[in-house]
Structures are given as structure tokens and as C-alpha cells.
Amino acid sequence: MTTAYQHLRELHRDAALVKSVGALLAWDQETYMPAGGAAIRAEQSATLATIAHAKATDPRIADLLDECEGHSPLVGDRNSPEARNLHEMRRDYDRATRLPATLVAELARVGSQSQQAWKDARERSDFEAFRPWLEKTLELTREKARCWGAPEGGELYDALIEEYEPGARAAEIERVFTPLGERLSSLVAELLDRGTPPNDAPLKIEIPAERQHAFGLRVLESIGFDLRTGRLDTTTHPFCEGVAPGDTRLTTRYRESSWTDALFGTLHEGGHGLYEQGVPKGENFGEPLGEAVSLGIHESQSRLWENLVGRSREFWQWAQPIAAKTLGDEVGRFSVDELYGAVNLVRRSFIRVEADEATYNLHVMLRFEIERSLVRGDLSPADVPSAWNARFEELFKVPVPDDKRGCLQDVHWSFGLIGYFPTYTLGNLNSAQLWERITADLPDLSQMIARGEFAPLLGWLRERVHAPGRRWTPPELIERLTGRPLSADPLFDYLSTKLRPLYGL
């Protein structure tokens, strides 16, 4: 290993240390910070972001990269860990330096004002109050995309997706999403119009937060989340923060009248947390090899534990007696089948974050279509509500009552997170396609889950998905692991095979 390569690794580690302090501040802000700390916290975060950006765009990185890229023992085999590490370092450096510091600052400033405007507008369901902010953030986000540039043969929107899902292209996503949307829409219609829904009584039991917390911790430990290098705390909007090596923070929220919310939220964030604990941060902190590869792969891990595991019958075979003991007799009087049925109810709801597995992706597709049209300039911000409502009714067969339950419900667009939504559905697709491979490799997996033996499943994911970090792009990773490019079939087949019998069809 050359000294230049070693030096490059040190610079990345140094930048990551600053970023991890910012992550810790962000976690604190969402959990324990008193309200009075908000103003100074905004300054603290902005100061750290500036230092981190300066470190990420340090001109010494360019020189060291040049030197390493000309050194054949490092890059001779372009698939070696060192060559991939350098390739990704170059990518990050190029993307960071292509954005003028003024644009970065303007995006941050407008983003924080716009987010406040969005909060008020959503509260009052007043799209017109938010429209000027949407126009501003859209303009700045398109400017950012122009700085990065559309990839060869791609469109401007691709430059934005690239930030969250390297290698993904809008046209390719559309090719997979469109047929999936049509099939899901008819599956939902069939279930709700002709099927008999499972009994929702198990979902309606009131359970104190402390018991829910104890149950959540028990489940987390059982699936392999290491509480010596992680925590579970309470917040309003659950998330997972992979702060640094040895420090992964999960958050959840408890609603006493709806105990399964926290359980599935905890399993979801737990899946993210297992991924964060599994990437080789210890040896490669701050380097691409020690980082999660994309949001779509991250989300595949959370959805896999939340849905493929947590909403399976086998999981409830294991969890039912534990739930009876930890949550109480009221839960204990329901059978495995009753619990399994209740957690798989399908509903036509307006809110994405409350959606079940069958309708969830329809919510995402709607957002993908609209934001892509916005970036292309085919749709103006003023026409978002009418475009949203028309498409929603086509997909869900019910009219949107107001913008609060329509185009104002998500925070993303207010601070320029455009190109982010498709990664939710990519995560679902990845999880189902990986699951086909996993169940072929581990034929006894259902029995293991029914016995609460999750280690073989976690071991499979650790070795093949977590350990490579960013060694492969997400499309490469999926193809290497499953033998084919991403397809909608595994997800659709899984949902249809599970849900039709539960609805008596």
C-alpha cells in the first residue's frame, strides 16, 4: 500500500469524524435536546457542515487521487477493494467539488425556511402558502442537478437520483414501476372488493409504552441488534443514525392505542441498524468501503426485517408467546393466525407512512411521476395538487379530501429531497428479490424463524450485503447476489401469495 493511499484514507477518516459529530447533534436534536437549544443547534450544525464540506473538498484529495490512480498495484484490477475504494472516493470528490459553495449555502438556508413554511401550510392544508417555497427549492434543486450534469444517455432527474441510488436511472425505474403499479392496483381492488378482511381486533388493544418498549428491545436483541454498540430511544419521527463505529442509534415512537406501530417501526429501524452495524466501519471508517451503498439497499434491509420477517406467520409463531408475556393477556388471547392476519390488513389510506405493504408502492410511484415531471419542466409547482389528486384517484379509486392528506403530507420536497422517493420502492423490490435467493440458500429458514433463530439469516446478510460496503453499485450487488437485474416479479409474487389466502381468495 502506498503512502499516498494511506494518506487518502486518513483524510477520509478525519472528514468522517467531523460528520459523525454532526450526526450525533442531529440525533440529540430529535431525542433529548430541550426546545431552547434549537437556535444554537442550527448554528452548531451549520458550522460543522461547513467544516465537513471543506474537508470533503480538500485539494490535497485531488492530488492524492491522481497519484493513486496512476499506481497500477492499486488500480490494476479494477474490481479490487482498493480500486473500488478509489473509484468511489473520486466520485464523491467530483460531486462535492462540482457544487459551488454559494449554492450549497443557499440550499441549506432556503431548505430550512421552506421546511418551516411547509409545516404551517400542511397544518392549514394551504398549498398556495407553500407554492412559492416549492418553486424556490425546485429551482435550486434543478440548479444542483445541472451542476452535477445528467449521466450519459440519461436525464436531469438522474443526476439527483444518483445522490441516493448510484447507478439507478429514471427510465429503468419506470420500466419496473409501471407494470408493478398496474398489477398492485388490481390486486388491491381484488382484495378489497371481493375478499374478506382479517379481523383487526388485535390491533386495537391499548398497551402502555413501557411494555411496548420492553417487547421492542426483546425483538431487537433476538434478531441480532447489538445493544452494546447501539441504543433505542423515543422520538416523533423514527429514524436510525449510524453515528460511528460502535455507535448505532435507533428511535421509535409509542402510541398506546396502536401497539403494532412501534413494533414494526422498531423492526424497520432495527433492519437499518443491523446494516449500519454490519458495514466494515471499524477498519474503513469514512471510506466508501466502510459505508452503506445506497438508500435503496439500506431500505431493503429495513423492509426485509419489518415485512418479510415481521409480517410472516413464522415470526408470530415465535413472537406470540413472548408478546403474551411482555405485552399482556389481552394480546395473549389472540392466536398466531389472528395476529398474523391483523398485521397484514390492506387499506386504501391517504398517508404513505401509514400504508400497508400492498398499497405502499402506489404512494411512491405517484411521487416519482410527479417529481420527475417537475424536474423535466413538464409540470409546474402550481399544478401539483391537481396532478396529484387525479393520479391518486386513478391508483386508489378514492378522491383526495384535501392537500394535507394529499400533496402536502411529506416533508421531502420542502428541503429539496427530490429523487429520493423511488428508493423506498427500490428497497421493497430489493428485499423481495434478495428473499428469493435467501430462501433458496437457507431452505430451513421458515422453521428457524418459527424457533426464533435469526442468526443464519443475519449471517447471510452480513456476508453478502453488509460486508461489501460500497464495493459494488446497487444494481451490480443485486445482480451478483440474485443472478439477474432488479425485477418487480418477486415482490408482486410474494404479496399476492401471502395476501390472497388471508383475504379468502
Q: Which is nearer to Zn ion, 198 or 278 (CB)?
A: 278
User: Which cell goes with 246?
Assistant: 460502535
Q: Which is nearer to Zn ion, 273 or 381 (CB)?
A: 273
Residue 370 Cβ vs Zn ion, minimum distance, rounded to whole Å? 21
Q: Report yes or no: 84 and 121 within 8 Å, Cβ to Cβ.
A: no
Q: Which is nearer to Zn ion, 5 or 368 (CB)?
A: 368
List, by residue number, the catalytic residues.
269
CB burial of 286-301 (b: ≥16 within 10 Å; e: otherwise) equals bbbbbbbbbbbbbbbb
**How many other C-beta atoms lie within 10 A of the C-beta of residue 444?**
11
Tell me the β-bridge partners of 241: 249
Residue 493 Cβ vs Zn ion, minimum distance, rounded to whole Å? 23
Residue 296 Cβ vs Zn ion, minimum distance, rounded to whole Å? 10
Residue 286 Cβ vs Zn ion, minimum distance, rounded to whole Å? 23
CA dihedral 146, 147, 153, 155 (to 10 degrees): -30
CB burial of 11-35 (b: ≥16 within 10 Å; e: otherwise) equals bbeebbebbbbbbbbbbebbbeeee
Q: Which is nearer to Zn ion, 82 or 299 (CB)?
A: 299
CA angle 298, 300, 304 (to 5 degrees): 125
Q: Which is nearer to Zn ion, 20 or 302 (CB)?
A: 302
Q: Which is nearer to Zn ion, 415 or 503 (CB)?
A: 415
Q: Report yes or no: 285 and 292 within 8 Å, Cβ to Cβ.
A: no
Strand, coil or helix: what is 324?
helix
- What is the sign of the dihedral through the CA atoms of 401, 402, 406 and 407? positive
Judged by the rule CB under 5 A, the positions of this chain that interact with Zn ion are: 299, 302
Residue 298 Cβ vs Zn ion, minimum distance, rounded to whole Å? 7
Residue 423 Cβ vs Zn ion, minimum distance, rounded to whole Å? 9
User: Which cell goes with 504?
Assistant: 379468502
**How many other C-beta atoms lie within 10 A of the C-beta of residue 307?**
26
> β-strands 247-252, 230-234: how paired?
parallel
Closest chain position to Zn ion (CB): 302
